[in-house]
Structure 1
Amino acid sequence: MSFKNISFILHKPQLSENIGACARALKNFNFQKLLLVDPKPIFPNDKIIATSVGAKDIIKGAKVFDHLENSLKKIDILVATSARFRNKNIKHISISDLNKIDYSKKVGFLFGSEASGLSNEEVSYADYTLQIPSNKNFRSLNLSHSLIIVAQIINSLISNKKYKFEKSKKIKTASKKDIQSMLSLCINNLEQRNFFNPPEKKPIMLENLRSIFYKMNLSEKETRILSSVFAGLTKKR
């Protein structure tokens, strides 16, 4: 278990002050990895650095991506935070369930933009969704406040607990990159067969496909097998 295994991902953050406050929160609780996906303000800027209050190293080491999928290539387990309960076939966990996650793996916590949070499409990349308990009549939390709550809890779990896992050490869990490669092959083959028809339903069909594969906890070997299966489907008899 290592603090270096944990990444905090801000999806389309809109305010420089919130980005800086998030960086400060990460340093407060001994985390280092801040990832930003398509931030609205120029990154970095003076306001971000000022509100980070001493966390310039977090800002300097932060990575910026143009799309969520690109930010997940080194993530094994993704937890999406949301103020809304999603009516999707995905595992919903509570704050008290965070101790069940294997922090020896590379874990990412995904936070949505201040205005709209995360869409169902973005949530479809996640293994779990996490709802922070709050006033049922006023659930919306500030971005940096949400992050600092999660960061404090994960800090406590990593610092104070040891975990034992019975899975064979010979079995390697597939990374997001492994799953992305397999899924890309599947999608390309489906497109060749005109599967996504009518075209207007393609986005929701892709969303459902991602959700299925990302929550299956596949091993590296299983992704290779599935990739071979998808490749074999295109071969002529």
Structure 2
Amino acid sequence: MKARVESVSAAPSIVLVRPQLGENIGFAARAMANFGLADLRLVAPRDGWPSDKAEAAAAGASHVVDGARVYATVEEAIAKLNYVLATTARPRGMVKPVLSPERAALELRRRSLLGESTGVLFGPERSGLDNDTIALADAILTAPVNPDFASLSLPQAVLLVAYEWLKSEGATISLGRGTSFDRPAAEGIDHDGARPATREELFALFAHLEGELDRAGFLSPPEKRSSMVRNIRNMFHRMGATEQDVRTWRGIVAALSRVRRAKGDKVS
């Protein structure tokens, strides 16, 4: 089953300017498909087009590669777009707005909702975009990277922008994907349907645990018992225990108590 793909009119076009390796085009296409982009535009690919290497590297994203359009110049590739970003590691001394990937994605999303056609330019693997190409864009897109190693590969750069684009959709997106065995992931702890423990259940656990700890002589000396009990209870409160967690802990305490008693320990 194919992944959900944004409509081409709403999502930004990815424009690869003079890409050198077919494999990188394929990997970029795969990154696009991962995050809901489909409109791939190629400007004068060095090794020509179509490319068997690109098709192989794209894996399941062949629909992106098969739909790619080839142009002779950047001007032709972006002629029908209303808003264009240029990716580069440095501003090149140009007086243009500079956007992080996150801010860029929000601006692309805002403009798409207004009906504008948008695109993002990526340069050749070896040199990146030249100044004349950057001058054709409305703004510069620059990622926060290690200043001692700022160069991203072409597929990495496309993946970063595509990821931020999908993330800009907001709370409606899920993590990963659902399968026949489980549902998509969500941030936080998945208790798999188990409900949070009630106070009553926790109080019963505390009584059980603290009673056995008293019998074992753990909660001593007496003057420290209150603070030790508070610390133990706070540990359970921090874990956000479910009713299944409480049952498990009650079983652990009972099992350890049976072992202790089987060894003939004195019970007060």
1:115 maps to 126
Displacement after TM superposition at 1:103 (Å): 2.5
Q: Which residue of 1 aligns with 2:107?
A: 100
Aligned to 1:108, what secondary structure does the other structure show?
strand
Once the two structures are superposed, residues 138-166 of structure 1 have per-residue CA deviations (whole angstroms, 9 ceiling, x without a partner) of 100000000001001001113548xxxxx
Task: Check conservation: 2:83, 2:137, Cα contact below 8 A.
Answer: yes
Query: Is 2:162 aligned against 1:151?
Result: yes
Question: Equivalent residues in 2 for 1:124-135 (5 A)?
Answer: 124-135=135-146
1:50 corresponds in structure 2 to 56
Identity within the alignment, %: 34
Larger relative contact order (CA 8 Å, sep ≥ 6): 1
1:75–1:160 CA distance, 2 compared to 1 (3 A): farther
- 1:177-221, CA deviations, whole angstroms, 9 ceiling, x for partnerless residues? xxxxxxxxxxxxxxxxxxxxxxxxxxxxxxxxxxxxxxxxxxxxx
**Pairwise CA distance, 1:112:** 0.3
Counterpart residue number, 2:68:
62
User: TM-score normalized by structure 1?
Assistant: 0.64
Q: Structure 2-normalised TM-score?
A: 0.57
2:19 paired residue number:
13
Match of 1:55, SS state, is helix
Contact 1:103 1:158 in 2 (8 A): no
Tell me, which stretches of 5 or more residues in structure 1 are unaligned?
162-237
- SS of alignment partner, residue 103 of structure 1: helix
Unaligned runs of 5+ in 2: 1-5, 173-268
Contact residue 7 and residue 35 of structure 1 kept, 8 A: yes
Aligned CA RMSD, in angstroms, stands at: 1.5
Alpha-carbon separation, structure 1, partners of 2:88 and 2:117: 20
Q: Is the 8 A contact 2:102 2:164 kept in 1?
A: no
Q: Return closer, same or farther for 1:160/1:75 CA change in 2, 3 Å cut-off.
A: farther
Residues 27 and 57 in structure 2, CA contact (< 8 A), matched pair in contact too? yes
Q: Is the 8 A contact 2:38 2:64 kept in 1?
A: yes
User: Does the 8 A contact of 1:3 with 1:158 survive in 2?
Assistant: no
Equivalent position of 2:254 in the other structure: none
Q: Is the 8 A contact 1:12 1:38 kept in 2?
A: yes
